[in-house]
Amino acid sequence: MIETIKQLVEAWGPSGFEHHVRALIREMVVPYADAIETDGLGNLICRVGSGGKKVMVAAHMDEIGVMPIFREPKSGYLRFTSIGGLIQTTLLGSRVRFEHGAVGVIGAHDYFHAGRTTLTDLDQFFIDTSDGSGAESVTAGMPGAFWRPLEVQGTRLIAKSMDDRIGCAIAVEAMRRLNKQTANTVYFVFTVQEEVGIRGARPAAYGIAPDIGIALDVTSTGDMIRNEKMDVALGAGTAIKIADSNHIVPPQIRDWMVARAEADGIMFQRELLTLGSTDASGIQITRAGVPSGVISIPCRYVHTQSEMVDSRDVEASVALLTGLLTHPITL
Amino acid sequence: MILRQLSEAVGVSGKEEAVRAIILPAIAAHTTEVRIDPLGGISALKRGTGASPIRLMLAAHMDEIGFMVRSIDSDGLIRVSAVGGIDDRILPGTRVRLGAAGTIGVFVWTPIHQNHDQNAPKLKDMRIDIGASSRDEATGKVSPGDVGTFDSAYMEIGTRMLRGKAFDDRAGCALLIDTLANEGGDPYPVDLLAAFTVQEEIGLRGARVAAQRLDPDIALILESTTAHDVPNPALSPDEVGNENPTCRIGGGPVLSFMDRSMITQPRLFAFLRATAEAAGIPYQFKSQLGGGTDGGAVHIANAGIPTAVISLPCRYIHSPAAYLHRDDYDATLALIRAFIHHLPALDLRDPA
């Protein structure tokens, strides 16, 4: 599974421009799906099984990134805006990659002196895409994604876009393990544009009209970094979401997940998050409502370029998802 | 030009009937199945030749920003709330019209020699003077809940510059009417679903309803956007020459690859751009990406609708006197028509 994770986290796909990730995932899952299609917004929808309950599993393909908007005529600096939730303290000296292969370095005025305390807004930064020849191949409208390779250290996995390529990897692995054997009709949906407002999952859910939704996404941790007080730790198992900033998981969904984890002896923790939400909050309010839950992967340093997860939690998440989908569902 | 009537009509978000009254007769001869939805949005069908099954939604919003009367003080001065994105800085001394009767008022301003606090006042602290000296006197003329907006007459400046309020988005409405009229043009190959939407300025509310009801295959939003291309004398020497104008008057229709409400599908954006190039129509990119359009609501309606935005560059948008160049209007109309004719060649399917 490490090889799958490596390919996915190192792929290029900022929100709105997920086509490379979609092609990569499609190739991975083709042997394990009964039907595959891409909807009008670019969501990759893979149906497995028929009969039973209709379950929509969502993992988002997009990552946060940068969108160049204006090359200053005199200075040549390339100004940009955010794609998704950029944290400005992660930017200086970062590398971004553009679709055609050009590399950019993010700089800012006077970063060495006054900038140490004054760099608070995106419009103080710029991207340097120079190659020494004087020509510029990067123009406004060409998005960029951060570039870091995957590092594996013991059970820790460190990469950019763990959010949410780790969720995609879990979905792909679950499809492999199910190998088309499920008592339900499962739509594995690799969604677009979650980072800019859960824009892919809602239309996808409208088109599928599922009975149940399950999102796979990262969550923060309460160990070591204390972004918020939460009882989630790396290595303590898959995280079953209770609620987050925009979603309360219906008790019957939450209890169904807990029961499966206990029955299968899967290490799990209960998760509450105030920092954000997932595709499930969009699926839940589609059409006449779809009870939805989340299998969360504990992750430190979310929305930095070194998001860290634990492979034990990843494996537990695959086991839980596979267990939930294999058996008939009664809620 | 119908833009004169549209610009001068008072149609603040949520009360667009005066604008509907201008649009309905203007489109009657060119459309069928004209409907008004429960929020007041207009939809109308212009059938194509049948050459292509594509159903294209074209949207422009009828509402403008304005004010709503909150209360009347005992001294006869009026307190209002903003409806939509009002810039408080331009209000002191600005003329407004309130209520169905269009009662004239002016935002109170402190004379310069008494204005010790140099900070611009906030709307919540400002009041409107309609010439009444007591609550009783004012009560006959305005009531809480009345809406109103800038008092501003449409003007043509020279031969090519147009000036007026509410070009955002009455200019878009004018473009849509002209597109439907298709004067001197070949019949369109696709069905057009025209949507004159409501309540865009307060949250894209009418567009969501229109898209859900019409469920088109593709959508094109017609808007007006900020041109900030006037030199700023306050800039430092380092900053001069590096200003970001967002877009320029005279630069042609503005194409948005992204704003805060929507990321345009890359293949659809490339198609729109290629259409402009092939037709020899000048165009520009929007280079500040704040704000949103009806596209934000339309593209994620139902099972998702690929959507693009074409905007007119306008200086001083959201003020009593926006400026729009006729050449930009003509070029934008040409691009819309070229896009419609080119549409059967659009293939958005995933190649994988």
What's the mean pLDDT when you consider all of chain B? 94
pLDDT bucket at B118, cuts 50 / 70 / 90 = low
Tokens coding B165: 């309020």
pLDDT bucket at A179, cuts 50 / 70 / 90 = very high
Mutate to test the interface with B, among A37, A81, A109 (most CBs of B within 10 A): A81
Of the candidates B205, B222, B201, B162, the residue with the CA atom closest to the CA atom of residue B291: B201
Q: Looking at residues B82-99, what average pLDDT do you find? A: 94
pLDDT bucket at B9, cuts 50 / 70 / 90 = very high
pLDDT score of A77 more than 60: yes
Q: In the prediction, which pLDDT does B52 show? A: 95
CA end-to-end span of chain B, whole Å?
A: 48
Q: Which of B241, B266, B303 comes nearest A17 by C-beta?
A: B266
**Taking a C-beta distance cutoff of 8 angstroms, is the pair B33, B193 a contact?**
no
Q: Chain A closest CA to B157's CA: distance in Å?
A: 31
Residue with the larger pLDDT of the pair B236 and B194 = B194
Q: Looking at residues A105-130, what average pLDDT do you find? A: 92
pLDDT score of B232 more than 90: no
pLDDT tens profile A39-56: 999 999 999 999 999 999
* Closest CA in chain A for residue B304: A203
Cβ pairs bridging A and B (under 8 Å): 85
CB-based contact B242 A19, cutoff 8 Å: no
CB-based contact B304 A207, cutoff 8 Å: yes
Of the candidates A214, A213, A215, A239, the residue with the CA atom closest to the CA atom of residue A300: A239
Contacts of B258 in chain A (CB under 8 A): 16, 67, 81, 83, 141
* Closest CA in chain B for residue A200: B300
Tell me the pairing of strands A54-60 and A185-191.
parallel
Catalytic site includes residue A72: no
pTM over 0.80: yes
Q: Which of B8, B16, B33, B200 is catalytic?
A: B200
- Between the CA atoms of A291, A297, A300 and A306, what dihedral angle is there, to the nearest 10 degrees? -110
Q: In the prediction, which pLDDT does B351 show? A: 61
Q: In the prediction, which pLDDT does B23 show? A: 98
Range in A118-127, A313-322, B114-123 the model is least confident about: B114-123
Angle at B162 between CA B158 and CA B164, to 5 degrees: 130
Contacts of B300 in chain A (CB under 8 A): 41, 199, 202-203
pLDDT tens profile A12-43: 999 999 999 999 999 999 999 999 999 999 99
d(CA A127, CA A245): 33
Contacts of A202 in chain B (CB under 8 A): 300
CB-based contact A203 B285, cutoff 8 Å: no
pLDDT score of A226 more than 90: no
pLDDT score of B244 more than 60: yes
Mutate to test the interface with A, among B229, B240, B242 (most CBs of A within 10 A): B242
Q: In the prediction, which pLDDT does B230 show? A: 86
Q: Looking at residues A49-67, what average pLDDT do you find? A: 97
Q: In the prediction, which pLDDT does A108 show? A: 95
Q: In the prediction, which pLDDT does B115 show? A: 67
Q: Chain B closest CA to A70's CA: distance in Å?
A: 6
d(CA B209, CA A185): 31
Residue B166 has φ and ψ, to the nearest 5°, of 60, 25
How many helices (DSSP H) and strands (DSSP E) are in chain B? 8, 17
pLDDT score of B112 more than 80: no
pLDDT score of A235 more than 90: yes
Contacts of B264 in chain A (CB under 8 A): 16
d(CA A282, CA A201): 6
Contacts of B225 in chain A (CB under 8 A): none
* Closest CA in chain A for residue B244: A70
CB-based contact B352 A26, cutoff 8 Å: yes
d(CA A217, CA B148): 47
Q: CATH number for the B66-150 domain, one of 2.40.10.340, 2.40.30.40, 2.50.20.10, 2.130.10.10?
A: 2.40.30.40
Q: In the prediction, which pLDDT does B120 show? A: 73
pLDDT score of B153 more than 70: yes
Domain ranges of chain A: 2-63+160-326, 65-146
Give the count of alpha carbons within 13 A of A50, CB side only.
Answer: 2
pLDDT score of B160 more than 70: yes
Q: Chain B closest CA to A155's CA: distance in Å?
A: 34
Q: Looking at residues B5-26, what average pLDDT do you find? A: 97
* CATH number of the structural domain A2-63+160-326: 3.40.630.10
pLDDT tens profile B258-296: 999 999 999 999 999 999 999 999 999 999 998 899 999
Q: In the prediction, which pLDDT does A225 show? A: 64
Domain ranges of chain B: 2-64+165-345, 66-150
Mutate to test the interface with B, among A15, A17, A19 (most CBs of B within 10 A): A19
Q: Chain A closest CA to B145's CA: distance in Å?
A: 32
pLDDT bucket at B116, cuts 50 / 70 / 90 = low
Q: Which of A17, A75, A206 comes nearest B303 by C-beta?
A: A206
pLDDT bucket at B188, cuts 50 / 70 / 90 = very high
Q: Chain A closest CA to B148's CA: distance in Å?
A: 33
pLDDT score of A262 more than 60: yes
Identity (one letter) of the amino acid at B339? F
CB-based contact A203 B301, cutoff 8 Å: yes
Report the complex ipTM. 0.91
pLDDT bucket at A138, cuts 50 / 70 / 90 = very high
Q: Which of B301, B349, B350 comes nearest A22 by C-beta?
A: B350
Contacts of B299 in chain A (CB under 8 A): 41, 199
Q: Which of A194, A195, A307, A315 is catalytic?
A: A194
Domain B2-64+165-345 has CATH 3.40.630.10: yes
Class of domain A65-146: mainly beta
Q: Chain A closest CA to B328's CA: distance in Å?
A: 21
Q: Looking at residues A176-189, what average pLDDT do you find? A: 96
pLDDT tens profile A83-112: 999 999 999 999 999 999 999 999 998 899
What's the mean pLDDT when you consider all of chain A? 95
Q: Which of A38, A39, A72 comes nearest B303 by C-beta?
A: A39
- Chain A interface, Cβ < 8 Å to B: 15-17, 19, 22-23, 26, 38-43, 67, 69-70, 72-75, 77, 79, 81, 83, 140-141, 193, 196, 199-200, 202-204, 206-207
Q: Which of A15, A40, A141 comes nearest B257 by C-beta?
A: A141
